[in-house]
Amino acid sequence: MSLITTLARMEAVRDGRAQPLTTVRHRHLTERPLVFVPLTTAGEAGAPLGALVGTDRERPRLLVVPQPRDRDLRSAFLAELAEEMLPYVEGFAGDVTLEERKETDPATGKKVTVQVELCAGAPQLLVPSAAGVSYVRLLGRSMRFRRTAEQDPGTPHPAPPRVPLLGRWLTHFGERARVPGSSLLLPMTELLSRHWATGQSTLEDQHLGALLAWIDPPEGLTGAEAALRAELARDAAGQLLHPPAGPATDPAFDNKLLAPAVARHDAGLPGAAEELRALLETQLRPTWEAVWRGVDLLRALPEGERAGERWKRDRWSYTAHRDRVRAGEPPQPRRDDAVTAARKLAARETAQAQLEAQEALDDPLVMAGRRLAGEAFAGEVTEVVMEYTEAKVPRPRPLVTVRTDDGPYLAEGAKVHRVLADGKAQSAEFVGRVPGDPGALTVRLTGGMGRGKAPEPGSVPEKGDRVCWTLFEHAPRGGPELPDPERTPWTHGGPPGEPGVELPDPVTAEDLL
């Protein structure tokens, strides 16, 4: 945690409510996200118990598995889930824009510009917490290898028609969620704690109710009091007033209410199914509301300038998966081969570096953290001296001196970067500190001044201007290229060869999901 974040947490303690960690919203939120609040059965890791799902805050769809041990009931749950989610997920596939992209022509080996489709929008899945993201991944893994009766007439327990397809999509969402800064699948707790510092620890921030209590405490209560109530308060019957955000349920609920209701259902008592539905709704509804309240709070923040750029990459990722599904490719393998795994890792590292740079550029409060860490400095220009290269056609290389209170970790010749008015980056080299003038640093501009002999207007700061230089690149690129799959060295498993056919999981008498 940076000292600025630490300080914000302490201020939250003092003021009894959360403090901002950002001045803008660093994740894109779509107009119409799909909220998914799943619950699982205690003791049977992964067995679904119920869910609220939908895009309409007022009318979520309630899905219930009255007996989680019953394979057919679980199947029915997944079928309903697919019925609810797939039209939403596929609903963004048709509306496309055309983008230009450079590709290598396989015949000639030349780089050519081609026009490709990019979906104008993309689905966005919101779940309450990080555990919800893991559960989406688990559901995806369990569904994508299933076979429907149509695919395999001999299969003993055929999956409902659209379930394997939903599995592939949920797997895609789950994989994408591992890319820093992506927004196809987001946990509300993480979204909120990126933007606010509470007066509790990051561990406690994983409780959605407590987190919201700090950010937006009800009248007359401090954040700490409201959070405590969210964590512990129970009604006269011993049930939590704020049930956990799942997917795990509260043991008191399991033992006192759920188990007897399931038993009544098993015994075939009339009304038992309705009773179970009502019971699960009591557990799900508060979390459903909480996720939407989080959406409200986040929407009140203006979106960071570069968040849209990252969302565009999410749209690319959605479009690419749409194409794979359309091309009839098999579901994602159980395990990535060495090259795919290395590629994903490299892409995530690049995304992390880009995210850090973009958040700082979009948000002075995040930039403040980088300045404190010695990775950027801001100050006033005190002197500009025009100098030129000694080439035949001299190019401008002005020296700019800045006075700053920041303490950047600069070595001579280090590269620094700043944003120009047109959004492009300008680079410079650190020349040295001004003797006898603490805080005064001189840099030499090396680019961003146009092609001419004289710098373009506005590209060289003037005396009195406030400037902010970063030691990090604004658009960091990944490391060296990885070899093509066919050229994977044997130390890394060699060329992947023909992808093996992934068989469905064997069916056992004791399956949970």
Partner 1 sequence: MPDLTAGGPEGRTARTALALREATAAGRWALLDHPLLALPVAGTPAFLEPDAVVVHPDGTWTVVEIKSFPVIDGAADPAKVGAAARQAAVYVLALEELAARTADGDPARVRHEILLVCPKDFANVPAAGLVDVRKPRATTRRQLARLARVEDIAAELPAGTTFDLCLADDGKTAGRPAEELAAAVEAVGAAYAPECLAACELAFHCRARARAEGAVAALGRGLRGELGGLTTVESVLAAALGPEPAEEEAGVPDPTVAALRRAAALRAEALAPPLTGIEAACR
Residues that bind partner 1 (CB under 8 A): 1-4, 6-11, 13-14, 20, 23, 43, 45-46, 134, 138, 141-142, 199-204, 224, 232, 305, 334-335, 361-362, 364-365, 367-369, 371-372, 378, 405, 418-419, 465-468, 505, 508, 510-513
Looking at beta carbons only, is 294 or 379 nearer to partner 1? 379
Of 34 and 400, nearer to partner 1 (C-beta) is: 400
Instruction: Pick the closer one to partner 1 by CB: 275 or 380.
Output: 380
Nearest of 460, 457, 431 to residue 447 by alpha carbon: 460
Distance of closest approach, residue 509 Cβ to partner 1, in angstroms: 8
Output the smallest distance, CB 378 to partner 1, in A: 5
Q: What's the closest the beta carbon of residue 82 comes to partner 1, in angstroms?
A: 17
The contacts of residue 207 (CB under 8 Å, 6+ apart) are: 189, 227, 230, 231, 244, 245
Nearer of residues 365 and 384 to partner 1, judged by Cβ: 365
Residue 198 Cβ vs partner 1, minimum distance, rounded to whole Å:
9
**CA–CA separation, 29 and 299 (whole Å):** 7
Whether 187 and 130 have beta carbons less than 8 Å apart is answered as yes
In the complex, what is the shortest distance from the CB of residue 446 to partner 1, in angstroms, rounded to a whole number? 19
Instruction: Give yes or no for a contact between 399 and 384, defined as CB atoms under 8 angstroms apart.
Output: yes
DSSP, res 91: T
Tell the smallest beta-carbon distance from residue 3 to partner 1 (Å): 4
H/E element holding 8?
Answer: helix 3-15
**Residue 215 corresponds to which tokens in the numbers above?**
């950010």
164 within 8 A of 328, measured Cβ to Cβ: no
- Residue nearer to partner 1 on the CB measure, 115 or 508: 508
Which residue lies nearer to partner 1 by CB, 275 or 502?
502
Task: Give the Å distances, CA to CA, from 327 to 108, 201, 321, 323, 331.
Answer: 25, 47, 10, 6, 11
CB of 427 to partner 1, least distance (A): 16
> Nearer Cβ to partner 1, position 110 or 335?
335
Compute the distance between CA of residue 44 and CA of residue 512 in angstroms, rounded to an integer: 6
> For 346-486, where are the E strands, in sequence order?
376-385, 399-404, 415-419, 425-433, 440-445, 466-470
| 513 vs 491: CA distance, rounded Å | 37
